Amino acid sequence: MFSFTINKSDGSARTGVFISPHGKVETPCFMPVATSASVRLLTSREVMEMGFDAIILNAYHLFVRPGLEIIANSGKIHSFMRWHKMAITDSGGFQIFSLPDSQADEDGIVLRSPESGVTLYFTPEKIIEIENKIGADVIMCLDYCPKIWDNLREIRLSVQRTISWAKRCQIAHSNMEQQLWCIIQGGTDLNLRKQCFEELEKLSFQGYGIGGLSIGEPWEKSLEIINMLTGMGKNRIMYLMGLGMPDQIVESVEYGIDFFDCAMPTRIARNGTTISWAGKFNIKAGWCKNDQTPLDPDCDCFVCRTYSRSYIRHLFNAKELLGMRLNSYHNLYFMSKLMAKIRESINRGNFVEFKKNFLEKYKQKEKKNA
Amino acid sequence: MFSFTINKSDGSARTGVFISPHGKVETPCFMPVATSASVRLLTSREVMEMGFDAIILNAYHLFVRPGLEIIANSGKIHSFMRWHKMAITDSGGFQIFSLPDSQADEDGIVLRSPESGVTLYFTPEKIIEIENKIGADVIMCLDYCPKIWDNLREIRLSVQRTISWAKRCQIAHSNMEQQLWCIIQGGTDLNLRKQCFEELEKLSFQGYGIGGLSIGEPWEKSLEIINMLTGMGKNRIMYLMGLGMPDQIVESVEYGIDFFDCAMPTRIARNGTTISWAGKFNIKAGWCKNDQTPLDPDCDCFVCRTYSRSYIRHLFNAKELLGMRLNSYHNLYFMSKLMAKIRESINRGNFVEFKKNFLEKYKQKEKKNA
């Protein structure tokens, strides 16, 4: 029902195919974020047509709203949101830990729901039960997220609990239609990361999420950790969680990352930031006022085939929500094409050249517009 | 370049074809509102695919934002927003009069722009110049809108100035690629309405907007005015401005109205109100929670072919903008199908029967949900 096969390697970068009950996923892959069963402003059909094989949802958010009963009544998450390809649920550990009132002990996490005020209790077993009812193809373990990235005592605790919770998740997990992946913690401490991976490896998970990055540490530090972990997990699915702007993706693919998810491309789209092959820019900028070219002249998405920068800038200025919608579509389409080009270059054995050319062009404009 | 032909009459109701430089418009027709060059949340392609032949925009709003220069630089309004069918601009008189700081005299209207604080001066000649630069197929005269619907002195003044401004608009209008339509004022006073129409008729406009309704008077009063005016304007295009919920449309078509525009179907869509053949309801209502049927089981739009009420209710509850988008699409699609069915019934000579059946079903649910 599940398998992961590596097709080609180019240095440490690799292409592969992950098979799930909802179809195959070509890797390296980027997963649009549909936290609450919706990729903001876009239909599932649009996201599928862009070429994405997988999305990621958030078990905690879905548990709060619409709740498990409503999803179960429409079958499972796929039929609820009419998404016919692979879906992953993140446990929502990161989101739970982000809430001001959350408190954790060895057994699990207590929090007061910001919506209802009710006290909620999440254990690893409870999270597996929730993810099971939501019904995604891949489900993530509950991990213990350190609140501060550079407090060694906190990081050590997070590694210890993340391992112990992963074991409990594995015991609680019995639905063979879902595959359970674990999450590696350890902050920026290479030894703790290594230890965390090794302990999880003993449990023979198929997929390893790299969690707890992008919470304040420098990107170079993240790359160091990514490099080490992918080196250790060559036979596993390596999934960099929660970060994946184009330049980060290209740089992480080089070390062997297979899965990405990131809310950034759609989040910044709603603020007017357009991702293009020549770099990011803000469509609200004055120089776009009379620009009759598309958002990205090198893009063939329906937005770029149809509308001018001038018009989309106007939509943002007039607070017309269509502006956010069009920019979100374009940015996600860009991500889909980027992943396709990355896979193509790996298969051809010229990924390093692709990376160099891509970054050169992509970062040039960022400098120009800075 | 422009023509209007009546095809069939069924009582006072009639079907016709209006020919414009951007294609033919089958009447009675409903025009979606694209105030600022966008039908909220929807692409022009979607609105065309739904079967709409025409949209209405607002000259005043477009003058303020994006401004005439930006539109002119992309050609005209059609190419700016990629709308390839007929477009009308309302002068924006109604919107200008709605601004708290606006003041009018015989010559025109002064106001302080709420956006820039700059003093703006709108005369009939200036409005024609603006509408000319925007480049819609049909442009509306600047009318004088009474601020209160039941002050006879104010209404009398509005009729007098509306006539005098219509004359000035006609003199200022020279672009033969645009057709100029006038607006009838007169509040709820049948004599003033009659007088206004007769004076405008002398100027031989092709189209007559009925303005100044739906500002507080009872609907029965509006129907009385509509009835009288359509009776006098049998050889003219009769356009009921700014109102057109399904029941109002069906009732006004019976008297011979040819054109409608109304922001309501999309505005209420964004608040969760769904229009269905069984009546209006709010998708956020508790009874939709586990409802696996589409928004409207009698609708074949892509939203109804794809999603459940349960899912769309969730989107609204989770403040996911996709909910507004899907509900807007459905409501507008409904309006398009309603107009098609109205035309069909007139052509078959059974409009009265259609109207009776439609209203019976449509108002039943409204009662049930009240």
User: Are the beta carbons of B36 and A318 separated by less than 8 Å?
Assistant: yes
Structure confidence at residue B146 (pLDDT)? 84
Contact A162, A183 (CB under 8 A): yes
Question: Which among A346, A332, A267 is positioned nearest to A52, based on CA atoms?
Answer: A332
User: Are the beta carbons of A37 and B311 separated by less than 8 Å?
Assistant: yes
Distance between B80 CA and the closest CA of chain A, angstroms: 6
Instruction: Kindly state the DSSP code that residue B33 receives in the 8-state scheme.
Output: B
Report the run of H or E that residue B281 belongs to, with start and end.
strand B279-282
3-state secondary structure of B32: coil
* Inter-chain CB pairs, A–B, below 8 Å: 114
Architecture per CATH, domain B3-262, reads as Alpha-Beta Barrel (3.20)
Q: Which residues of A are annotated as catalytic?
A: 90, 261
Q: What is the dihedral angle through the alpha carbons of A213, A236, A15, A221, rounded to the nearest 10 degrees?
A: 20
Structure confidence at residue B367 (pLDDT)? 52
Structure-block tokens of residue A264: 């950034």
Q: How confident is the model at residue A112 (pLDDT cuts 50, 70, 90)?
A: confident
User: CA B77, B81, B87: angle at the middle one, nearest 5?
Assistant: 50
Which residue type does B251 have?
E
Distance between B81 CA and the closest CA of chain A, angstroms: 7
Indicate if B107 belongs to the active site.
no
Contact A30, A338 (CB under 8 A): yes
Instruction: Kindly state the DSSP code that residue B217 receives in the 8-state scheme.
Output: S
Query: Where would I find the H helices in chain A?
Result: 44-49, 59-64, 68-73, 77-81, 93-98, 124-134, 152-172, 190-201, 219-232, 246-253, 264-270, 302-306, 309-317, 321-348, 351-369
Distance between A53 CA and the closest CA of chain B, angstroms: 19
Is-cis flag, bond preceding B218, omega within 30? no
Contact A139, A99 (CB under 8 A): no
Region of B69 please: left (phi>0), alpha (psi -120 to 50) or beta.
alpha
The DSSP line for B170-183 is: HHH---TTSEEEEE
User: Are the beta carbons of B314 and A70 separated by less than 8 Å?
Assistant: yes
Mean of pLDDT values over A206-229: 93
pLDDT tens by residue, chain B, 370 residues: 999 999 999 999 999 999 999 999 999 999 999 999 999 999 999 999 999 999 999 999 999 999 999 999 999 999 999 999 999 999 988 888 888 888 899 999 999 888 788 899 999 999 999 999 999 999 999 999 887 767 899 999 999 999 999 999 999 999 999 999 999 999 999 999 999 999 999 999 999 999 999 777 899 999 999 999 999 999 999 999 999 999 999 999 999 999 999 999 999 999 999 999 999 999 999 999 999 999 999 999 999 999 999 999 999 999 999 999 999 999 999 999 999 999 999 999 999 999 999 999 999 865 565 4
Structure confidence at residue A303 (pLDDT)? 98
Structure confidence at residue A344 (pLDDT)? 98
Task: Provide, as residue numbers in chain A, all residues whose Cβ is less than 8 Å from the Cβ of B310.
Answer: 66, 70, 73-74, 80
Name the active-site residue from B10, B90, B137, B143.
B90
User: Are the beta carbons of B292 and A73 separated by less than 8 Å?
Assistant: yes
- In this prediction the ipTM stands at 0.96
Tell me the C-alpha distance between B128 and B363, whole Å.
42
Structure confidence at residue A369 (pLDDT)? 56
Query: What are the tens digits of pLDDT across the range A35-51?
Result: 999 999 999 999 999 99
Contact A137, A179 (CB under 8 A): yes
Closest A-chain CA to B313: A66
Residue count (chain B): 370
Domain extents for chain A?
A: 28-262, 274-369
User: Are the beta carbons of A311 and B73 separated by less than 8 Å?
Assistant: no
User: Are the beta carbons of B310 and A80 separated by less than 8 Å?
Assistant: yes
pLDDT at A72 over 90: yes
Residue range A28-262 in CATH 3.40.47.10: no
Chain A positions touching chain B (beta carbons under 8 Å): 36-43, 45, 65-66, 69-70, 73-74, 80-82, 289-290, 292, 306-308, 310-311, 313-315, 317-318, 320-326
Tell me the C-alpha distance between A14 and A225, whole Å.
18
**Residue that the structure tokens 């109102």 belong to:** B243
Structure confidence at residue B356 (pLDDT)? 98
Pick from B74, B292, B326: CB nearest A74: B292
Query: Where would I find the H helices in B173-215?
Result: 190-201
Q: What is the dihedral angle through the alpha carbons of A245, A248, A254, A258, rounded to the nearest 10 degrees?
A: -50
Name the active-site residue from B10, B258, B261, B296.
B261
Structure confidence at residue B369 (pLDDT)? 56
CB atoms within 10 A of CB B3: 12
User: Are the beta carbons of A290 and B73 separated by less than 8 Å?
Assistant: yes
User: Are the beta carbons of B322 and A38 separated by less than 8 Å?
Assistant: yes
Query: Which residues have C-beta within 8 Å of that of residue B345, sequence separation ≥ 6?
Result: B10, B351, B353, B354, B355
Question: Which among B337, B359, B220 is positioned nearest to B279, based on CA atoms?
Answer: B359
Q: Best residue in B70, B304, B317 to probe A by mutation, most A CBs within 10 Å?
A: B70
Structure confidence at residue B340 (pLDDT)? 98
Pick from A37, A306, A321: CB nearest B41: A321
Report the run of H or E that residue A237 belongs to, with start and end.
strand A237-240
Tell me the C-alpha distance between A106 and A123, whole Å.
9
Tell me the C-alpha distance between B277 and B357, whole Å.
10
Tell me the C-alpha distance between B47 and A324, whole Å.
18
pLDDT at A370 over 50: no
Contact B197, B233 (CB under 8 A): yes
Q: In whole angstroms, how far apart are CA A318 and each of A291, A323, B234?
A: 17, 9, 39
Structure-block tokens of residue B37: 């060059």
**Average pLDDT along chain A:** 95
Structure confidence at residue B370 (pLDDT)? 44
Q: Best residue in A33, A38, A77 to probe B by mutation, most B CBs within 10 Å?
A: A38
3-state secondary structure of B328: helix
Task: Provide, as residue numbers in chain A, all residues whose Cβ is less than 8 Å from the Cβ of B311.
Answer: 37, 74, 80-82
CB atoms within 10 A of CB A89: 26
B362-368's contacts with Cβ under 8 Å and 24+ in sequence apart are: B362/B246, B362/B247, B362/B277, B362/B278, B362/B279, B363/B247, B363/B279, B364/B278, B364/B279, B365/B276, B365/B278, B365/B279, B365/B280, B365/B281, B366/B279, B366/B280, B367/B279, B368/B279
Tell me the C-alpha distance between B92 and A204, whole Å.
68
Residue count (chain A): 370
Structure-block tokens of residue B153: 């002195």
Convert A38-53 to b/e letters by CB count within 10 Å (16 or more is b). Answer: bbbbbbbebbeebebb
Task: Provide, as residue numbers in chain B, all residues whose Cβ is less than 8 Å from the Cβ of A290.
Answer: 69-70, 73
Structure confidence at residue A157 (pLDDT)? 94
